[in-house]
Structure 1
Amino acid sequence: MDFWSRLIGGSRALSNKPSKATSPTERLTAFKRACNALQQIWRSTNTPSGEQSVAHARTYVERLNSILSEEARGPAPHPCVAYAASSQVFVTVTKLALSFHDEGVVRSATVFFDTLIDAEVDGVVDNRLFARAMVDLVRRAEKTSDEIEGRLVELLFGIANNIRLQPGILPAWFVPRVTPVAQDSDSQAPSGTEFAGATRKDEFPLFYLLVDYVHHEGRAGDFARTGLLYLIETASRSKNLEKWLIESDLATLMATGLGALYSQLGHLSFAPTTEDDNLPHIVVLSDHAKHETALQPTLDQTMDAFMSYLLFWQDTIDHCKSAEVNDTLLDHFQVLFLEQLLYPSLLESSDVAGGSTAAVLTYMCRILDSIDQGELVHRILHFLLASSPQPEEQMDMSASRRKSLNVLAALASEAAQPSPSLFNLRDLALLGLQSSNCQTVLATLRLLNTVLQRHHLFARALIHTIPTQPANQRPVGALNAELEQLLVMGTSLVDDPTLNESYDNYVADATCVLESRLCLPVSSMDEDEETLPLPLQLQQDDPIVQALFGCLESFFTNSVIINLALTGVFMSLASSHLFSLDGWVLVDPNQYEAPSSEETDDGFEDVLRAYQAPTWPPTAAPTLTLALQQLVNQVRQWQQELPDFNVLVAARRELLHQDDRPQTPDRSREPSEHPASRNRSRPSYPGSPDASTLASRGRSPYPANSPTMLSSRDRDESSIPPDSRGSSNARAVAAEALRQRLSMPFPPAPADPQSPSADEESSGSEDIKDAPVATLGHVLTNVVILYEFLLELSAVVQVRGSLFEEAGYDN
C-alpha cells in the first residue's frame, strides 16, 4: 500500500468519481496526471498484486475518457486530445489492456481509442504509432463477449470511415512494400511471394482484420462488412491501394469464404405442420396440410450467414469504383465459386429419396431472389445457362491485372470441371418439372418464377421463343371474343355474386404489374435491341413448356401449393413484355377468318369491322386455353354427376375468402385472440407460394391463428349456417356425414373393377399405389384456384391489349 500511496500522492483513497475540472487548464492538468499514473502502473506492473493493478488501470483509463468526453462538449481547441497525441499515451493504454486480460480495461480502452478517432486531431489517425497500437489491441485483446468483439471491430470501422473521407491518412495504415519495376509490361510474374493472390497482412493489417470478421453475425459482422466496403471504395482514389487489392488475396479470400459457407448448407428441413395455425387457410383446406410442401422449408443460420456474405459481395461490387478491382473480384467469383462449387452441386444433385436436388434448386432460388446486382446476376445466369459468350473488346490492362488473370487461369486449369454446355440450369429445371418428388417440382417452379419476374433478361434463355415470329396486332373484336371465351370458362365453374368486384381488382393488379414492365429493358445482354422484334412467340415444342403443360394435366390432384406455383409461372409468362400471348393464350392473328364485307372508304365502317368477332379453325386453338378448357369440361362433368357440386364449390370459395372480410364475433375464438384478418394488400404476380403470395388470384394468404380452429373437414361443416341456439342431433349427424363425404376419394373408384391377371398383378398394384388420389374437399379447393386463375389471366389479356397495344383497328 505504501507504493500506491506514494504513486497517488498521499491521498487517503482513490475515488472512482473523477474530479470536476472547470477550465481547460484544469482539465489538461488532470489529464496529464492520469497519463503519468498510467505510465507508472505500466512501469511497475510486477510490483503490486495483479488485481490491484487492474483496478487502478481501469480507473485511470476511465478518468481519461471522462475528461475527453467533457472536453468534447466544449469549443475548440481541445488541448487534452492534442496532449494524448503528443504523449502517445494510447501506446500505454494498449499495453495495459493486453497485459491485464481484463474485460473492463479492454472496454475502457476501446472507448478511449474511439474518442481519439472521433476527435479528428492531427497526430492521431494519421500516426503510424497510433495505427500499430490500435491494430495490436484489436488483434490480441481477448474477445470475452460479443459486446467486446463488437466494440473492437467498431474501432476498425471508424478508421475505415476516416480513410474514406480523408484518403490522405491512408499511408499511416497501409504500407505496401516496394517491388522492383518490371523490365516490360509483358514480363513474366516474379517467383516466390511476388504473385497475384499473395497474403500481405503486414502491409495492410487493418484490411485483414476486417476480412477476419466479415462473415460474423451481429454488430461485429456489420461493422466489418461496412468498413471493408469503405476501404475498397477508396481504391479508386489510390493507385497503390488499387494495385495492392488486385495483387493481394482479397478476391481469393472472398470467393473461398463464400464457397465455404455454401458447402455447409445441408438438406432442407421443414417446420412441424401438426398445428393448423402454422398453415395458410388454403393449405389447411387441402389434402396436403400435413405434408412437407405445406410450408416453405426452414433455412437455418448457415443459410442466413451465406446470404449475408453473398449480399456483402453485391455491396462490394456496387461500391467499388475501380473497374479492374471489380473485374478481379468477379473473375474469382466465377472460377472459385460458380465453376468449382455451385455448378458441381447442381450437376451432382440427386432426386432419389433424401436427395439434394430440391435443396440445390431452393438455394438457387434464394440466391437469385435476393441479389439484384447486374454484374453478379449476369455472371451466375450467363454461366449456368451456358449462354453464348460475348465478343470481348480489347481493353488496356495493368500488369497487376494480367498477373491476377494468369494465376486464376492456372487455378481453373488445375481443377478441370465439366462445362455447362453439356448440362446446365435449363436441363436441371426440365428434370425437376418431370420429377416424381413433390419438393423438387415445387422448388423448380419457384426457380422459374424468380427468373421470369426478377431476371427477365435471361427468361428467353430458360424458356425459348421463336425469334422469326414477332407478335401481330389483333382486331379489337378478336380480343373481345377471346376474352369472352376465357370469362365464360371461369364463370361456368363458380356462381360468384362478387364477380364484378373481383375482376376489377384483378384488372387493377394487372395494370400495376404491366406498367412496371414498360420501364424494363427489352433485350438481354447478348441481343441486339434495335433489330430484335418484341415480344416473341413462345416455342410450343420447348421441353420446359411441355413439362409445364404436363403439370397442368393433373391439376385437380396436385398439391394446392404446386398449383399456386404453377399458375404463378403461367402468369409471369403472360405478364412478361418479352413473350407474346399468340399461340398459347390467344389465337395467332394470322389464323383469324374475318367475316366477309365490302371494302368502303367510310371510316365508321372500318371501326365497325374491327369490332366484328372473327372465327378460327379448331387447329388454331391456343395450347394453354385448350388445356384449361379440358379442365373446365371435367368440372362440368362433375357438375352433372353431383347435383350439389356447385353448392359445394361456392361454399368452399366463401370459406377461402373469409379472411378477406372483417370478422364478426365468433364463439370459437378465445377472448384474447387477435382476429385472423389483416390489411389486405394487392399482390404482384405470384412467385413462390408463401404467405405473401397466397393472396394472389383472390386466395387468402393469412394463417388460421385460432387455437380452436377447426380442421379442413370441420371448416366445410362450418360453411353451413349454424343454428344460433345450438345444434341438434340431426345437425350433428348431417355435419358428420358431410365431413366423411369431403374426406372420401374423388372421383370415386369404379364399383366393379376388373381383376388384374397374375402377370399384371405386381406391376398393376404398383401403378394403383402410385396413382394420385384426392379427396372431394381437395378437388373443391383446386376448382376455386382454377376459377381465380381464369379471372386473373383474363384481366392480364385485357390490360395487355390496351397497354401493350396488342389490339387495335386496321388502318
Structure 2
Amino acid sequence: MDFWTRLLGGSSQKKQAAANNPQQRLARFKQRYNQILNTWRKSETLANDREALGDVRRGFQALTAILNDESRSPAPHLCLAFAAADQIYTAVSKIAATSHDEGVVRDAVGVYNALIDSEEEDFLENDVFAVSLMNFIGRTVGSGSMGVGEDIEADIVELLFGIAAKIRLQPEILPVWFTTAAADSNGRLVNRKVDFAGVTQKEDFPLCYQLIDHVHHEGRIGDFARTGLLYIFESASKSVTLEQWIVNSDLPTLMASGLGALYSQLSRKLSILHPEEGLPLILTLSDYAEMQSNSQAESFFSEDFQSHMVTFLSYLTFWQDVLEHCRSIDVRHTLIDHFQVLFLQQLLYPSLLESSDVDGGSAVAVLTYLRRILDALDHPELVHMILHYLLALPDYAATSPRIPRSPAALKRRQSLLLLNALDKDDDRMNPSLFNLVDLVLGSTESRNPQTVIAALKLTTVVLGKNHGYALGSMIKIIDIHHKEPHRTAGALNAELETYLNIAIGLAGEAGVDDAYGSHLKDKLSMLESHPCTLKALALPTTPVKSTGFFDSEVGPRDVGPHYLVPEDPLFKALMDLLLRFLTNDVETNLALTEAIINLGTCSQLRLEGWLSVDPADYHFKEAGPEPQEFSNDNFRDMYRANRQPTWEPSATPPLLACLKSLQSQVDALRGDIRDWDDHVSSRKHAFRFHEEMLEAMKATPPPVKAKPPAEPPAGSWTPQIPKYMLDGSSTPSRTQSPRGRKEGLDVKHTPAASPAPSKLGGSTLGGSPSRGLSPLPAPRVANRQTTLMSDVNANFAAVTSSEFLKRRIRFRRVAGSQTVEVMLSKYQPPPKDSHDADTTVGADAETEDDGDDEREASLLHIITNVVILQEFVLELVALMQVRASLFSEVKFA
C-alpha cells in the first residue's frame, strides 16, 4: 500500500511541477493557439461549421485558463510575453467577429479579460491592442453588429468599464484610447465648424461612444456603462484636449437626447390607483374600491411602468453624478446647457403645458413625474434650473458674478440658445404665462381624486425639500423683520389644549398618549432635517469660500422670517379639501395632511394667522391686583406670560376653524348613529393590531423549511384573531392608534446598485416622510406569515361586509358657505352593484338648482377618515410643541 501511495504521490507531484514549468506552459499555450488558427483557416465558413466552432471555443477557454494560471504563478510569464509579441488578440478579434456565434464571443471576451487583468506587458498602453479590442466590440455590440444576448453584452460593457477605470487612475494611457487628428502641435484642438449638436467623431474615442450607446440600458449593462462614462468625464479635468473635444463633440447632445428619450417612454396617461389584489388595509376599510381609473391610463404599479421609471431615474441620477464628479468647468456648463435646452425647455415643460385633467390621466402623469424627478435630484444646479424655470421665478442672481467660460463653451451655448429661440415665437411656451404653480393650483381643485393626490404629493416635495423655491411662488408670504416671539407660553398651552380636546372629541382618548409620544419624536426629526432648520440652528462660522465648481449664487432665495398670506390660493385650496375630509378618499386625506404638516416644518414661517392665534387678538380675564410676593419685574413678567388668553370666534385661525367644523360633523354623527364610539374604537384597534402584526413579521426570521409538527411545541406562540374582529360586537377596553410615519403609498423603486453610487444619493435622497397611516403592502417574509396576514385581512373584510357599515351618508355644503351639513335624515342604501356607486369618492356632486356641493360616503369610509383625522390633529399638537421648544417661539417672560 505504501508503494502505491508513494507512486501516486510522486506522479501527482510531477504533474504539478509540469504545470508550473514556464517552458512547458508556453508550449501548451502555443499548441492551443496554433490549433485555433488552423481550425479557423481550414473552415471556409466558420459560422456554419458547428464542429469548428466547438474547437475554437475550447481553444479560447484553454488560452484563458493558461493565462489566468500564469498570472498567479511566479515569473517568468512567458505566455503573456508571447501573447504581446505575436499580438494574438488581433486573431482573437477576427475569429470572434467572423464566427457570428455568441459562445465564441463570450470566450473571446474571456481572453481579453485575462490579458487586461494580468497587468503585464502594458496591453492597455498598446495602440494595436486598443484598436483590436474596439474593432472586436464594434463588430459584436456596435450598430449593425451581429447582436448578442444581454448577458454577453453585459460582460463586454463591464470590460469597457474596467478600461475606463484604468484611464481614471492612470491618465497617461488616455492617448492610447483617445486620439484626434484635429489637434495642433501643442495638443490643443483646432477650431472646427460646429453646429448645436457638435461634431461626431467616433473614431477619435470609440470607447466613449460605446459607453454612451449603453447608458440607457437597465441592469448591469446600464450600471457599468454609466459608471464608465462617469470616469471619462472625470478624466476631462486632467486633459485639455479631452475637455475641448467633449465641449465640441455631440456627446452632451447624445446624453440630453437619451434622457429625453427615456422620459418619452413613460406613459402619457397614468393611474395611481392601487390594484385590487393585495389592497392595503387602510384602503380596504374605505370606499377606495369604488374608484375607477381610466382604461387608457397605465397603472403606476405595473411592472412595465416601474421598469421604465427605474431606468429613467437611474439615468437622471447619472446626470447629477457626472456633474458632481466632473471638475472641468467648461464640460459641466456645456452639459447643463444641453440639459436645460434639450430636456427641460423642449420636453419637460411642453409636457406640463399639454397636460390636461379632462383626458383622465395626463395631469396625473406629469405631476407624478415631476415629483419623482425632484425627489431624486439633489444637485444644486439641476434643481435650481428646473424649479427656477418651471416656477417662472425672477432671476434675482442675474447680476451676481459667474464663473467665466472658455470661448468654445460660450459659442456652444449661443448655438443652443439660438436653436431654442425658434420656439419662442409661440407665446404659449412661456412659463410666465402658465407654469407649475398654475398646474398645481388647478389640480388641487380638480374633480378627479387622482389629480388632487398627485398635486398634493408634488407640493409636499417642493415644500419639504426645496422650500426656498416655493416662497413667493407656490405660497404667498409677507416678510417680517422682527425675530422676537410675540406669542406667550400661556397662549401656547391654551392652543395645545384646544387642539387636544378636538382630537379626543373626534375618536376618543384611547391610545392618544402613545400616539402623541410617537408624533413628538417624529416631528423633532422632521424639523431638524428641514433645510431652513439646518441654517437657523447652525453655529456661526467663518463663511466658506466657493469651491469654484458651482456658480456662486445658484440656489433658492434666502429664507427669512415670514407670515403666510391669509388669502394664499394654495392654502385656501388645502382648507377647502380639509373641510371635506370625511368624504374625501383616504389617499387624498393622507396626502393633504402631509402637505399641511410640511408647510408647518419651516422654522422661518410663523404659525400665527393660520395655525395659531394672532397675539393681537388675545383677551385676558380681568383679575384682581397681582400677588404682592412678586418682588421684582421678572417674576411679574413670568406670571403675565403664563396666563391663558381667550379670543373671539372671528380670530380663530383658519385651520382650527376647519377642524372645529369637522368636529361638529362628527358630533352630529355620534348623536344619531348607535354605538358610534364603539365603531371608531374598534377601527383604531384594527389598525393598531395590523401594525403590530407587520412589526412582528419583520422581526421574525424566515423559518427553516421543514415538515410542520402535528402540534406546536411547548412555549410557541401562535397569533390569534381577536373575537371582536370576527363578530364586531364587542370593543376592547384599551385600543391603540396607528402612529409614526412609515413608507408612503407609492412603491419606491430605486435604481440598481451602481459600481460608483452617487454621493448625492438616488431616488430616495431628501424624500419627505410619509404618513403614519399610509397603507403598507405586507412584506414577503415567509409563506407562513403571508398566509397569516391574508387571514387577518380576510377577517377584517368579513367585518366590513356588514350592511350597516355600507350605509351611505350625504353631506351638503351650501354654495359660498364654510358650513357642512350632515344629512342624517337621508340615509342612502348601499349600491346594488359597482356601476351604481359613485366611481370617484369625494368628487363634486353639485345640484342643478342651487349649486350646493353634495357628497356622500359609506359609514365604513367615514369612520376610517375619523381615525386618520385624529392622528393628524395629534401631529399638529406635536408640531406646535416641538417648534416652541426648538425654535424658542414663545415668550416665558
More off after superposition, 773-782 vs 697-706: 697-706
Structure 1 pair 152–681 and aligned structure 2 pair: CA distance change class (3 A):
farther
Give the one of 677, 680, 701 matched to 1:649. 680
Alignment-derived partner of residue 26 in structure 1: 24
Tell me the amino acid that sits aligned with residue 411 of structure 2.
K
Q: Return the offset for 1:485.
A: 0.8
1:574 matches 2:600: yes
Q: Is the deviation greater in 349-358 or in 25-34?
A: 25-34
* Counterpart contact for 2:287–2:861, Cα < 8 Å: yes
Q: Given the superposition, is the C-alpha separation of residues 767 and 236 from structure 1 closer, same or farther in structure 2, using an over 3 Å criterion?
A: farther
TM-score (norm 1): 0.85
Q: Which residue of 2 aligns with 1:128?
A: 127
Aligned CA distance change for structure 1 residues 323 and 382 (closer, same or farther; 3 Å): same
What is aligned with 2:888? 805
- Name the structure 2 match of 1:424: 435
2:147 alignment counterpart: 143
Partner of 1:200: 201
1:311 is matched with which residue: 307, 317, 341? 317
Give, in whole Å, the separation in 1 of the partners of 2:254 and 2:124: 27
Alpha-carbon distance in 2 for matches of 1:482, 1:770: 31
Mapping for residues 135-284 of structure 1, pairs under 5 Å: 135-141=134-140, 142-179=146-183, 190-191=192-193, 197-268=198-269, 275=276, 278-284=278-284
**Residue 641 of structure 1, CA deviation:** 3.0
Deviation per residue, 1:588-615 (Å, 9 max, x gap): 2343345677696243333222211123
User: Hey, what's the Cα distance between the residues in 2 that align with 1:800 and 1:397?
Assistant: 45
Residue identity in the other structure for 1:533: G
> Offset of 1:24 from its aligned partner?
1.8
Match of 2:497 among 467, 476, 484: 484
> 1:23–1:767: structure 2 CA closer, same or farther, 3 Å change rule?
farther
Q: Secondary structure at the match of 1:556?
A: coil
State how far apart, in whole Å, the 1-side matches of 2:470 and 2:515 are: 30
Q: Is the 8 A contact 2:370 2:458 kept in 1?
A: yes
Q: Which residue of 1 aligns with 2:534?
A: 520
Distance 1:689 1:485, change over 3 A: farther
Structure 1, 466-475 or 96-105: larger mean CA deviation:
466-475
Q: Which moved more, 1:615-624 or 1:399-408?
A: 615-624
Cross-structure match for 1:674:
none
Q: Is contact 2:57–2:104 with CA below 8 Å preserved after alignment? A: yes
For residues 516 and 301 of structure 1, what CA distance do their matches in structure 2 show?
Answer: 31
Distance in 1 between residues matched to 2:173 and 2:769, nearest whole Å: 54
Residue 433 (structure 1) aligned to one of 434, 440, 444: 444
Shift of 1:269: 5.0
Q: 1:559 to 1:124 in 2, by over 3 A?
A: same
- Aligned residues of 1:713 and 1:742 also touching (Cα < 8 A): no
Looking at structure 2, the residues matched to 512 and 171 of structure 1 have their Cα atoms a distance apart, in angstroms, of 51
Q: Equivalences for 1:676-687 in 2 at 5 Å?
A: 683-684=740-741
Residues 296 and 395 of structure 1: CA distance in aligned 2, closer, same or farther (over 3 Å): closer
In 2, the alpha carbon distance for the partners of 1:574 and 1:268 equals 33
Select between 51-60 and 606-615 the one with higher mean Cα deviation.
Answer: 51-60
Q: Is the 8 A contact 2:741 2:770 kept in 1?
A: no
Alpha-carbon deviation of 1:743? 2.7
Deviation, 1:41, is: 4.2
Q: Which of 255-264 and 19-28 deviates more? A: 19-28
Q: 5+ unaligned residues in a row in structure 2: which ranges?
A: 1-14, 141-145, 539-552, 694-717, 727-736, 749-766, 779-787, 811-821, 829-844
SS at match of 1:466: strand
Task: Tell me the equivalent position of 2:422.
Answer: 414
In the alignment, the residues of structure 2 paired with residue 262 and residue 580 of structure 1 have an alpha-carbon distance, to the nearest angstrom, of 39
Q: Quick one: distance in 1 between partners of 2:738 and 2:500?
A: 24
Contact 1:270 1:292 in 2 (8 A): no
Contact in 1 for aligned 2:270/2:362 (Cα 8 Å) = no
Report if aligned partners of 2:611, 2:653 keep a CA contact under 8 Å in 1. yes
The answer to whether the 8 Å contact 1:502/1:698 transfers is no
The superposition leaves residues 203-258 of structure 1 with CA deviations (integer Å, 9 ceiling, x where unpaired) of 10110011111101122222111111111111111111111111111111111111
Query: Relative contact order, CA 8 A, sep 6+: which one is greater?
Result: 2
Tell me if structure 1 keeps the 8 A contact 2:670–2:676: yes
Is 1:714 the equivalent of 2:798? yes
Q: CA deviation at 1:302?
A: 2.6
Alpha-carbon separation, structure 2, partners of 1:377 and 1:310: 12
TM-score, reference length from structure 2:
0.77
Q: Which residue of 2 aligns with 1:61?
A: 60
Query: Deviation per CA, 1:135-185, whole angstroms, max 9, x where unpaired?
Result: 111111233311111111111111111101111111111002225699x99
Q: Matched residues in 1 for 2:721 and 2:680: separation?
A: 23
- Write out aligned runs for 1:581-660 (5 A): 581-593=607-619, 601-660=632-691
Contact 1:268 1:297 in 2 (8 A): no
Q: Which amino acid is the alignment partner of residue 636 of structure 2?
A: E
Decide whether aligned partners of structure 1 residues 85 and 403 sit closer, same or farther in structure 2, where only a CA change above 3 A counts: farther
1:13-58: per-residue Cα shift (whole Å, max 9, x none)?
xxxx999632122212322333344444455444998344323322
| Deviation string, structure 1 residues 745-788 (Cα, Å, up to 9, x no partner) | 355565699xxxxxxxx994698998421111211111111111
Q: 1:444 aligns with which of 442, 455, 471?
A: 455
Q: Deviations over 1:281-317 (max 9, x none)?
A: 1111111234258996543433232222212212222
The structure-2 alpha-carbon separation of the partners of 1:701 and 1:396, relative to structure 1 and needing over 3 Å to count, comes to closer
Q: Counterpart amino acid of 1:664?
A: P
Secondary structure of the residue that 1:745 maps to in structure 2? strand
Residues 1:377 and 2:375 aligned together: no
- The CA distance in 2 between the partners of 1:200 and 1:243, in whole Å, is 13
Secondary structure of the residue that 2:480 maps to in structure 1?
A: strand
Is the counterpart of residue 349 in structure 1 residue 352 in structure 2?
Answer: no
Residue in 1 that maps onto 2:7: none
RMSD: 3.6
Given candidates 467, 472, 477, the residue that maps to 2:479 is: 467
Question: Within 2, Cα distance between the matches of 1:450 and 1:499?
Answer: 29
Shift of 1:63: 1.7
Q: Which residue of 719, 722, 725 corresponds with 1:664? A: 719
